Structure 1
Amino acid sequence: MSNGKDYWTAPHKDGWQVKREGASRATSVHKTQAEAWAETKSRARDAQSEAYLQNQEGRIRERNTYGNDPRKTKG
């Protein structure tokens, strides 16, 4: 979907960050991954975009699409 409005939960030196795709700074920083992931999903839902959750190694662990999903398959 990548419209520049996608949001990411990623590790941060002070915990976990929520970051909009292409931004140089974190939108917010949280103590727990769960708090950051909830914020990421909320922002992605409002922006009708995608939410990505990275693990400590930087790999995508989970992904949610909100709004127009271009995939033709159910799921």
Structure 2
Amino acid sequence: MRKNVHVTPKGENWQVKTANSNKAYRVVDMQKEAIQIAKTVAINNQAELIIHRQNGQIRAKDSYGNDTFPPKG
């Protein structure tokens, strides 16, 4: 089972974590940098990337695995 990769706030910083992990994979200053790191991790693991806002709400999702609803065209 592939673990989803999350970009979440951690104080004033941003962390990249996999689902159900107690420890962050990386902690960085900028959300943009965290998203780039998380995207690479998600692609390598064929997982889903979930980006959260500062308040914890989900801002965006992107699938890099077996997408059940791939784009048409």
TM-score of the superposed pair, with normalisation by structure 1: 0.87
Q: What are structure 1's unaligned runs of at least 5 residues?
A: none
User: Aligned to 2:27, what secondary structure does the other structure show?
Assistant: strand
Among 50, 57, 73, the residue aligned to 2:55? 57
- CA RMSD, 1 decimal: 1.7
Shift in Å at residue 22 of structure 1? Answer: 0.7
* Shift >3 Å, 4+ stretches: 72-75
Shift in Å at residue 72 of structure 1? Answer: 6.1
Shift in Å at residue 14 of structure 1? Answer: 4.7
Identical residues among aligned pairs (%):
34
Q: Does the 8 Å CA contact 2:2/2:46 hold for their aligned counterparts?
A: no
User: Aligned to 1:45, what secondary structure does the other structure show?
Assistant: helix
**Across the two proteins, how many residue pairs are aligned to each other?**
73
TM-score of the superposed pair, with normalisation by structure 2: 0.89
